[in-house]
């Protein structure tokens, strides 16, 4: 990281260079203006923004700390390891997945985690070991789990940076899972030997370590965590453990210390400590005579008496530590909740110190005395019952983070109310939909009863296509009750339904199939029989096509069928508007499905197919093309003749051939002869899809197209032959009239005869066009 003054100078120079270069570029491109005034102001502001932005960015770049890749990897390793162990603890307890607050979490602060392992194990906790070997100062937290609680130990002997980062990672992980109550309490483990041997300065530093971590925990969790102090390794004080040797095993497992009353203040109180410590000493002193009687060994009797004095002498060191750690000062912004203190001993070998002798030496003015360190083997004292009897029972004492609890309760209330409203709305929606459907069903039932009454009075006639229209239309109206577009918004298809709509729809289309389609079939078959008997092949072929469409479940269009029946009703005199409109709707509904009528009179169909040939198909296609709207329109040739044509020539009486179809003009010929012309046969095939299946292969289609072309050319010649044969000279009554006719005919520019032949030549001299078309067709 560059020094501050040097970074400022370099950043300023770079900002000036960048701004100057940009201004030069803009000046060279002609983007600078000197008028109006607001342009100058805007340019100045832009230059200042670039100057300040580039300068600030350069300064931040120079002042940026260099990233140490090794440190970065270690930081990531620390995060990954703590997160992995935390997730392992979370998975270990199945209760936590269902309720993260079902098991209390505690923090243990200690300066000697290796010695406290035995204490936690005696309390019933199991260490969650890391998978990999970790560097010594990498992770300052370790996880201990039991069936009833989880404890996270924080090693205060690690360097401050590693310890604070580990605690911060722990807090981030815990608060993601337990936002309202991160921890239930803190257990401060203080080694008595270290406390006794510490100087005033080191004791103050130790208490400050504990206090800073406690304040940080309370501040970041938003809680006032209850704190329990456990003074460990009693065996380091000479004769102290021997004082309790007469106790039986059950009494040795019970906690030994003082716990404040919940009604008292949360702050540490020296008066309370003095009273509680005096009570402990007096309690032990009252039983010492009994202990002396039970002890046969003289050394143990001496140790019991000495141990009482050692316990009394410990009071001052313990009081100093508690007051330094938990005293609430005027300017403290974080409150500490001191609950009590206890003594524990995990047993085993330990070096002992004589506190009483050291105290007397100090009173006599000696800074220190030469002591002989002795090693003694002691039993476990007051460890097993400490956590379950005192700490765990107060797991609910911590309360919750009020802000997060308020947010949680508000969110839960809003979510609950929202779910109740949604559920109530859903029930109301179902009820409203049910009521509406019931009303529709009642209306449909009434209409159905009316339909049955009308059907009994007006029975369907087997040979009358119009007879079922009104009765079936009544069924359609019932079906349309459920298909109308103006249903209320709350009638939704995905809601549970008790409607009879499905049965109504099934009944309606069933009646269409059994009644209407059957009558439509019979009507076509009857006409087909008649026209086949009359040897009207064109009409028979048309009816056969309609019959095939009727029996085709994948029909492309039903319009030809519907139009045929409408024409038939009109011919029979039943074609008044109301009936035609209703029949059209019914027929479209029936033909829009894949329903087909029952098979009927197969022999008649075989007879009809046997009498029809491909020539009949060609004739039908030709008629279809000639009746196409683009080619059937009439062109008045008189508009192309000279205005004086009537003075020289005249058309025969009752002749209207001068109104010639567009197909028989030069333009029509060219359109029919090019690639889109007789290919209209393909379009005609679509219109007659029912019977065009009989045409198989390109050869058959080419033959039909050739027949169509020959027929067209023949009719073309016939039209123009009739046109030219119907023209004759206009009769005149005088010689003057003849002279006038001759003058008009011989006029080189406006001769009506010349104009007449030009019209004929233009529309009949088509050899080149025809040859070109033939070549293109052959090439294709």
What is the DSSP code string of 8-29?
A: HHHHHHHHHHHHHHHHHHHHHT
Ranges 241-245, 263-267, 419-423: which has the least confidence: 241-245
User: Regarding beta strands 226-232 and 256-259, do their DSSP bridges make them parallel or antiparallel, or are they unpaired?
Assistant: unpaired
How far is the C-alpha of 17 from the C-alpha of 11, rounded, in Å? 10
Give the per-residue pLDDT at 736. 64
User: Regarding beta strands 374-378 and 348-352, do their DSSP bridges make them parallel or antiparallel, or are they unpaired?
Assistant: antiparallel
Paired residues of 345 in beta bridges: 381
Examine the pLDDT at 402 and tell me if it is beyond 70: yes
Paired residues of 227 in beta bridges: 186, 338
DSSP codes, 711-780: HHHHHHHHHHHHHHHTEEEPP-SSHHHHHHHHHHHT-TTT-HHHHHHHHHHHHH--HHHHHHHHHHHHH-
CA-angle at 41, arms to 36 and 47, nearest 5° = 130
Examine the pLDDT at 140 and tell me if it is beyond 80: yes
Which two structure tokens, joined as six digits, stand for 183? 């921890």
Residue 780 — very low, low, confident or very high, per pLDDT cuts 50/70/90? very low
DSSP state of 181: -
Q: Which residue has the higher pLDDT, 167 or 68?
A: 167
How far is the C-alpha of 589 from the C-alpha of 512, rounded, in Å? 8
Mean pLDDT of the chain: 83
Examine the pLDDT at 666 and tell me if it is beyond 80: yes
> Closest Cα to residue 330, out of 267, 401, 265?
267
How far is the C-alpha of 758 from the C-alpha of 402, rounded, in Å? 106
Q: What is the percent of the chain where pLDDT is above 90?
A: 29
Mean pLDDT of 381-386: 90
597 CB-near residues (< 8 Å, 6+ apart): 513, 517, 518, 520, 521, 550, 551
Q: What is the pTM of this model?
A: 0.57
If you count them, how many residues does the chain have? 780
Plot region of 712 (φ>0 → left; ψ -120 to 50 → alpha; else → beta)? alpha
How far is the C-alpha of 238 from the C-alpha of 398, rounded, in Å? 37
Which two structure tokens, joined as six digits, stand for 656? 């209207």
680-707: per-residue pLDDT in tens?
Answer: 555 666 556 556 555 556 677 777 777 7
Give the per-residue pLDDT at 629. 73
Give the per-residue pLDDT at 546. 86
Mean pLDDT of 333-350: 87
Which two structure tokens, joined as six digits, stand for 576? 């008044």
Give the per-residue pLDDT at 415. 95
Ranges 113-117, 146-150, 729-733: which has the least confidence: 729-733
> Closest Cα to residue 695, out of 704, 707, 686?
704
Give the per-residue pLDDT at 510. 92
Ranges 45-49, 576-580, 705-709: which has the least confidence: 705-709
Examine the pLDDT at 396 and tell me if it is beyond 60: yes
Paired residues of 650 in beta bridges: 728
Burial class (CB in 10 A: 0-12, 13-18, 19+), 161: exposed
Q: How many helices (H) and strands (E) does the chain have?
A: 30, 14
Residue 491 and residue 437 in contact, taking contact as beta carbons nearer than 8 Å: yes
Mean pLDDT of 456-464: 81
How far is the C-alpha of 326 from the C-alpha of 588, rounded, in Å? 92
- Domain assignments of the chain as residue spans, ordered by start: 4-63, 74-237+244-266+317-348+378-397, 614-779
Residue 152 CA neighbour count, 13 Å, CB half:
27
Give the per-residue pLDDT at 270. 92
Cis preceding linkage at 207, omega within 30 = no
Q: Return phi, psi of residue 378, to 5°.
A: -125, 165
Which two structure tokens, joined as six digits, stand for 636? 């008045």
Mean pLDDT of 12-16: 88
Give the per-residue pLDDT at 372. 47
Q: Which residue's structure tokens are 């508009």?
A: 639
How far is the C-alpha of 331 from the C-alpha of 346, rounded, in Å? 39
Mean pLDDT of 252-281: 91
Calculated CA dihedral for residues 761, 763, 766, 770, nearest 10 degrees: 180
Examine the pLDDT at 190 and tell me if it is beyond 50: yes
Q: Which residue has the higher pLDDT, 317 or 130?
A: 317
Fold for the domain defined by 74-237+244-266+317-348+378-397: Rossmann fold (3.40.50)
How far is the C-alpha of 441 from the C-alpha of 227, rounded, in Å? 72
Give the per-residue pLDDT at 615. 56
- Helix (H, G, I), strand (E, B), or coil: what is residue 178? coil
Mean pLDDT of 483-510: 86
Give the per-residue pLDDT at 585. 92
Residue 437 and residue 498 in contact, taking contact as beta carbons nearer than 8 Å: yes
How far is the C-alpha of 185 from the C-alpha of 228, rounded, in Å? 8
Burial class (CB in 10 A: 0-12, 13-18, 19+), 726: middle
Mean pLDDT of 281-310: 71
How far is the C-alpha of 30 from the C-alpha of 229, rounded, in Å? 78
Ranges 6-10, 258-262, 578-582, 767-771: which has the least confidence: 767-771
How far is the C-alpha of 394 from the C-alpha of 676, rounded, in Å? 96
Give the per-residue pLDDT at 558. 83
How far is the C-alpha of 269 from the C-alpha of 87, rounded, in Å? 40
Residue 748 — very low, low, confident or very high, per pLDDT cuts 50/70/90? low
Give the per-residue pLDDT at 598. 87
């Amino acid at each position: 990281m560059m020094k501050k003054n040097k970074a400022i100078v370099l950043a300023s120079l770079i900002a000036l260079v960048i701004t100057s270069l940009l201004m030069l570029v803009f000046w060279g491109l002609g983007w600078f203006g000197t008028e109006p005034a607001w342009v100058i102001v805007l340019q100045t502001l832009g230059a200042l923004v670039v100057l300040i932005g580039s300068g600030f960015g350069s300064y931040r770049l120079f002042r940026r700390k260099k990233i140490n890749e090794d440190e970065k990897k270690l930081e990531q390793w620390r995060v990954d390891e703590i997160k992995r162990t935390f997730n392992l603890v979370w998975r270990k307890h199945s209760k936590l997945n269902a309720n993260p607050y079902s098991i209390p979490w505690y923090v243990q602060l200690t300066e000697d985690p290796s010695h406290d392992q035995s204490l936690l194990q005696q309390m019933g906790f199991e260490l969650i070991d890391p998978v990999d070997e970790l560097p010594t100062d990498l992770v300052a937290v370790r996880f201990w789990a039991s069936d009833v609680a989880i404890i996270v130990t924080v090693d205060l002997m690690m360097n401050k940076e590693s310890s604070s980062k580990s605690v911060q990672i722990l807090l981030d992980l815990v608060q993601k899972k337990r936002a309202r109550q991160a921890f239930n309490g803190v257990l401060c483990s203080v080694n008595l030997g270290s406390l006794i041997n510490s100087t005033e300065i080191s004791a103050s530093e130790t208490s400050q370590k504990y206090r800073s971590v406690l304040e940080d925990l309370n501040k970041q969790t938003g809680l006032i965590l209850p704190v329990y102090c456990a003074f460990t390794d009693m065996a380091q004080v000479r004769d102290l453990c021997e004082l309790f040797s007469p106790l039986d095993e059950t009494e040795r497992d019970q906690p030994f210390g003082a716990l404040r009353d919940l009604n008292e203040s949360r702050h540490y109180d020296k008066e309370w400590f003095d009273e509680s410590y005096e009570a402990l000493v007096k309690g032990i002193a009252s039983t010492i005579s009994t202990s002396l009687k039970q002890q046969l060994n003289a050394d143990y009797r001496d140790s019991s008496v000495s141990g009482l004095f050692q316990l009394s002498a410990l009071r001052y060191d313990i009081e100093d530590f508690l007051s330094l750690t938990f005293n609430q000062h005027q300017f403290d912004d974080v409150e500490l909740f001191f609950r009590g203190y206890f003594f524990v001993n995990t047993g085993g070998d330990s070096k002992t110190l004589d506190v009483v002798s050291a105290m007397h030496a100090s009173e006599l003015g000696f800074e220190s005395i030469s002591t002989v360190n002795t090693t003694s083997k002691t039993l476990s004292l007051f460890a097993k019952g400490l956590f379950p009897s005192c700490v765990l029972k107060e797991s609910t004492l911590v309360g919750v983070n009020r802000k997060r609890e308020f947010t949680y309760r508000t969110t839960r209330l809003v979510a609950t109310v929202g779910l109740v409203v949604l559920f109530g709305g859903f029930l109301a929606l179902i009820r409203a939909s049910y009521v509406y459907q019931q009303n529709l069903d009642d209306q449909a039932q009434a209409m159905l009863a009316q339909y049955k009454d009308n059907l009994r009075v007006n029975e369907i006639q087997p040979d009358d296509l119009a007879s079922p229209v009104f009765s079936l239309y009544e069924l359609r109206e019932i079906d349309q009750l459920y298909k109308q577009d103006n249903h209320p918004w709350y009638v939704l298809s995905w809601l549970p339904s008790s409607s009879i709509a499905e049965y109504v729809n099934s009944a309606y289309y069933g009646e269409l199939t059994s009644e209407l389609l059957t009558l439509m079939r019979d009507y076509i078959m009857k006409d087909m029989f008649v026209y086949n008997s009359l040897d009207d092949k064109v009409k028979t072929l048309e009816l056969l096509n309609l019959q095939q469409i009727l029996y085709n479940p994948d029909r492309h269009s039903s319009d030809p069928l519907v139009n045929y029946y409408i024409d038939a009703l009109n011919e029979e005199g039943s074609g008044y508007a109301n009936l035609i409109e209703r029949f059209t709707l019914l027929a479209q509904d029936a033909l829009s499905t894949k329903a087909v009528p029952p098979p009927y009179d197969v022999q008649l169909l075989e007879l009809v197919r046997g009498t029809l040939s491909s020539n009949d198909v060609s004739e039908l296609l030709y008629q279809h093309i000639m009746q196409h709207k683009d080619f059937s329109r009439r062109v008045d040739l008189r508009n192309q003749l000279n205005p004086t044509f009537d003075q020289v020539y005249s058309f025969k009486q009752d002749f209207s051939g001068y109104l010639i179809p567009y197909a028989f003009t030069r333009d029509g010929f060219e359109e029919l002869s090019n690639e889109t012309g007789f290919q209209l046969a393909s379009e005609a095939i679509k219109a007659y899809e029912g019977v065009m299946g009989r045409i198989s292969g390109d050869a058959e289609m080419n033959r039909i197209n050739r027949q169509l072309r020959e027929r067209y050319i023949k009719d073309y010649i016939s039209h123009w032959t009739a046109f030219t044969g119907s023209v004759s000279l206009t009769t005149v009554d005088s010689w003057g009239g003849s002279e006038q006719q001759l003058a008009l005919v011989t006029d080189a520019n406006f001769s009506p005869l010349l104009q007449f032949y030009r019209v004929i030549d233009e529309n009949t001299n088509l050899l080149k066009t025809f040859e070109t078309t033939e070549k293109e067709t052959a090439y294709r």
